[in-house]
Structure 1
């Protein structure tokens, strides 16, 4: 593979008001035109860096068409080394000018430490062994694909402590790199199929980060793209997971369609489906049923999820993208489901028990789960406890690069406002701000 030197827009060009306006409007045609006219960067070099056909670059420069794909906008911004805030995207953590922080060591990191290091040097420098691997070999072997799978597993763990606003660029970058390898590399049939399955997995992770950072339409497109790759790779578990993701994403728009997606994902379960994957698919079906106010379907799916874990063969290998599903996760999901179904006598005990052992380092998720506990307390008429729990969720959600905790907390705050004369409610509303 030939490695080209990076194309970066010169600082004086980036400072140009016309260029700034064009970037903010995602008018890359104008940017390409000005890059050639004012900085001497040829259309062919731009095309090579941005993975666009040269004739397409010329058409864009002449004002014909626009770049509208979020994924492509991110790719172009990265290829031209344009700061994310300039193109209206969340700023990269490493674009902030702060003193470098020491690199952490050890297998586990607290969220605060990761954020400090990420701010100074970028997410790739924030965790051990997350730097880009060495250039790909001339022929992609299964052993090399194994190394990329391991890398993807390490990067996925960023989602435990960081929000989608922090991780989206990382996951999109990994996905784009795999696409490039599939396009340019030499493979055996087996290694190509495994590489395509890896791309399906990475695309799902990018879709999740897009969803978490508030880019719903882009998340749906990525999940659909992942389903195509999973089908091509004959990766049944990943195909089912893409349907489960689509179910999760569809709930705010079409509950019945979401339930249908979730039911379809479970229909692909076989005797060879790993236990954590079965549990994951069933718990997402339970959630879709709960939001659609189907208590019988919810209970049945929750029982199937627990049964999948209870009957797991000893030593059964689990894919890393589902290995996080355990009985604590299922208890939290059960509590969320019963909260949606207005069953606080069921939801409060199970959420209280599960969240008492849930680490604060997973701040986004804990804030989200506390919002359901607060809502369950409110349904039970425990206003003070609901307000106190909401305040705790607000504290945890501060600084998390995810839109979901505050969206959920705002729902609970709306229910609390009629009780503004209660001291605990006043404290929660004051903490939330205007």
Structure 2
């Protein structure tokens, strides 16, 4: 960013602001009083910004300190000096007061900021950060990660900043773990938005943070996320290589729990299913169920694997069969899991309902498939997720041969109704 500002390479500046702060071109345009098309042209390298008033608006809109762009100090920046005029004392100061005053910082800005920057961390601080991560995941399930990303990114950079200071080993390890979780969550929000390049960058950052403290279980978790992304990118070979690496990390960890091993085996099943390997997929599914059957209430499961419960095992088993085209096996499993799934998990319910609709369509159950897909539109409209949108498009394309059938016509009408509500900003159904 420093180099881009020095060169006044605003295309690069805007790209960095988007990638690292989650501020998209439309937001840049509003903040800097530019048109979205002009911002797009700058990012594409088709336009340069040379006028001083425009550069000043960019400095103010994106809060880039003036000196970085060769400008005078901006009015919103911290003033260089503070002038303090003390009141006349009404009585002589006591020796205790004089000693207290001697220990206080001076009135210059540097000393004030140094005092404000002192961060006394405690285990309760780490607990609070973990709680916020759990809340982020809950909100991600309910609404999608697009609107969460700026907050998650800000907290990630805050924690990474804390790691630059001297800490005790337990505190440092705890901060590394939290930073790794935040980086994985950031990567997940990009993955869910199908912005795969950015997702991979943050997953890689999460891997590095976990590796710094030898947290092999969490490294396995991140690699499993990357494997799932590879299946969505239609890169099954990469998916299998990544989940194999994840299982290697899990074996290298001390005390990897059966729940973690079950989750990894199911990701392996997804990779094999995407490759069309029937035998290997069935074997991985069996292994996942075997590990899950060994789960004990005394297991020291990491918090990040708690989502992998019996309902998740069942629905993932159904999806793995569905990926192989085994609709007869897939349909009852996905339907059973969908009945059990929590109502607030809008993205999960939408994804799984579209999977169920696809398997029903494969079995020739057109009416049931369209009815299931119509039910899926409700949670789909409640969450911002490009993955959900992709599943909707795929089902819509599979309906093409049946476009004139009454069930398909009813689904099309309902879909257009929901889309119209979203465009107009009306309350969701």
Normalised by the length of structure 1, the TM-score is 0.70
3-state DSSP class of the match of 2:148?
A: helix
Who is 1:421 aligned against? Answer: 404
**Pair 1:34–1:176, CA change in 2 (3 A):** farther
Please name the residue that 2:285 is paired with.
Answer: 302
Q: Which residue of 2 aligns with 1:400?
A: 383
The residue aligned with 1:315 is 298
Q: Is this contact kept in 2: 1:141–1:187, CA < 8 A? A: no
1:332 shift after superposition: 0.3
For 2:303 and 2:50, the matched residues in 1 are separated by 41
In structure 2, the partner of 1:267 is 248
Q: What's the counterpart of residue 221 of structure 2? A: 241
Larger Rg: 2
Counterpart CA distance in 2 for 1:372 and 1:264 is: 28
SS for the counterpart of 1:268 is: helix
The whole-number CA distance in structure 2 between the counterparts of 1:314 and 1:32 is 65
What do the CA deviations read for 1:340-380 (whole angstroms, capped 9, x no partner)? Answer: 11111111111111111223321211111011111111111
Deviation string, structure 1 residues 286-305 (Cα, Å, up to 9, x no partner) = 11211121222222222222
- After superposition, the Cα gap between the structure-2 partners of 1:410 and 1:15, relative to the gap in structure 1 and judged at 3 Å, is closer
Deviations 1:373-427 (A, max 9, x none): 1111111111221121112112321142111112112111111111122211111
Q: Shift of residue 331 of structure 1?
A: 0.5
> 2:177 — aligned with what?
197
- After TM superposition, list the pairs within 5 Å mapping 1:18-417 onto structure 2: 18=34, 34=53, 37=56, 46-47=64-65, 57-58=68-69, 138-183=119-164, 185-251=165-231, 252-270=233-251, 272-417=255-400
**Deviation of the 1:274 alpha carbon:** 2.3
8 Å CA contact 1:388–1:428 kept in 2: the answer is yes
> Displacement, 1:144?
2.9
Provide the C-alpha distance between the structure 2 equivalents of 1:42 and 1:390, rounded to a whole number of angstroms.
Answer: 43
Q: Give the 3 Å change call, closer, same or farther, for CA 421–21 of structure 1 in structure 2.
A: closer
Alpha carbon RMSD of aligned pairs, Å?
Answer: 3.2
After TM superposition, the structure 1 stretch with the greater mean CA deviation from structure 2, 14-23 or 154-163, is 14-23
Gaps of 5+ in 2: 1-28, 78-115, 420-429
Q: C-alpha separation between the residues in 2 aligned to 1:150 and 1:32?
A: 47
Shift of 1:233: 1.8
Given that 1:364 and 1:396 are in contact with CA atoms closer than 8 Å, whether structure 2 keeps it comes out as yes
* Counterpart secondary structure, 1:165: coil
Structure 1's 33 and 338: CA in aligned 2 closer, same or farther, altered over 3 A?
farther
Distance across 2 between alignment mates of 1:323 and 1:424: 39
Q: Distance in 2 between matches of 1:348 and 1:246?
A: 27
Return the offset for 1:326.
0.8
Aligned residue for 1:372, secondary structure, equals: helix
Q: 1:278 to 1:379 in 2, by over 3 A?
A: same
In structure 2, the CA distance between the partners of 1:25 and 1:340, relative to structure 1 (3 Å rule), is same
| 260 and 25 in structure 1: CA distance in 2 versus 1, 3 angstrom threshold | same
1:384 and 1:422 in contact (8 A); partners too: no
Question: What runs of 5+ residues in structure 1 fail to find an aligned partner?
Answer: 1-12, 49-53, 62-78, 81-134
Partners of 1:42 and 1:352 lie apart in 2 by 50
Distance 1:15 1:343, change over 3 A: closer
The alpha carbon displacement at 1:234 in A equals 1.0
What is aligned with 1:10? none
User: Contact (CA 8 Å) 1:374, 1:386: kept in 2 or not?
Assistant: yes
Contact (CA 8 Å) 1:139, 1:186: kept in 2 or not? no
Aligned residues of 1:286 and 1:299 also touching (Cα < 8 A)? yes
What is the CA deviation profile of residues 226-269 of structure 1, one whole-angstrom value per residue up to 9, with x for unaligned ones? 11111112111111111111111112242111111011111222
- CA-to-partner distance for each residue in 1:24-61, whole Å, 9 max, x for gaps? 6676x959964774699699x8359xxxxx6xx348x9
Separation in 1, partners of 2:53, 2:207: 39
Contact 2:143/2:347, CA 8 A, preserved across alignment: yes
1:86-134 CA distance string (max 9 Å, x none) = xxxxxxxxxxxxxxxxxxxxxxxxxxxxxxxxxxxxxxxxxxxxxxxxx
Provide TM-score, normalisation by structure 2. 0.71
